Copies of this chain bind each other. A is one copy, B any other.
């Protein structure tokens, strides 16, 4: 199913740049680009010449089917790396969810070839393995969970990531993005928000701001445990 081997090890090592840590490279100044709301950062099947890291704002990655059905595979917040590929082409597209600044590193500077150094290679592997774990968790969500459970999982994940466990989470993305991420429609997402609010698990000061009122109950719903104790 993969077409990687030939292309992956073949080309793209024209300039033997000094070995560079991905993290270091992405933190070096100078390669930062700004993107407007909904602006494309790279498209599906486009050459994967860069690896990206969110500096400010938020980014989404996803794939679309011919008839327009879209699956968002991930949201990326400041500090997150995205766009790292094994092959020569991006398998997913990426767009800015809102105004965003993104740092870039040339892929060729990363020594992806088989002879690259251990440090950078290990770093790449770590990033990819973490992405794999997230994606498998997401798979579980799409394959097994109900609409309310999906939304609960999503809100908890966002809360843990962006608000430093503060009580109010500010969602950078619209309902449609959430729907495409959770494998639901915009209407079902909205209804699930309302349901969680009715049940006093969350509060919605505005449609983009979510206050988590009962963390443990939301967590129980998200993980499909039996709900008993508080934490």
Contact = CB atoms under 8 A, between A and B. Distances in A.
A160 interface: yes
Interface in A208-231: 223-226
Interface stretch (A95-103, A130-138, A164-172): A130-138
A116 B85 CA distance: 21
Interface stretch (A35-43, A66-74, A189-197, A198-206): A66-74
A140 B71 CA distance: 6
Contact of A91 (B4, B121, B133, B143): B133
A31 interface: no
A106 interface: no
A161 interface: yes
Nearest to A74: B136
Protomer copies: 2
A1 B160 contact: yes
Interface residues of A, number: 57
Contact of A132 (B70, B132, B161): B132
Contact of A183 (B63, B118, B144): B144
A86 interface: yes
A143 B66 contact: no
A56 interface: no
B132 A131 contact: yes
A28 interface: no
Nearest to A224: B65
A120 to B, nearest CB: 9
Nearest to A146: B69
A6 to B, nearest CB: 12
A162 to B, nearest CB: 12
21 contacts: A1-B134, A1-B137, A1-B161, A2-B133, A4-B129, A65-B224, A66-B223, A66-B224, A67-B224, A69-B144, A69-B145, A73-B136, A86-B133, A91-B136, A116-B122, A118-B121, A124-B125, A132-B132, A135-B135, A138-B139, A143-B183
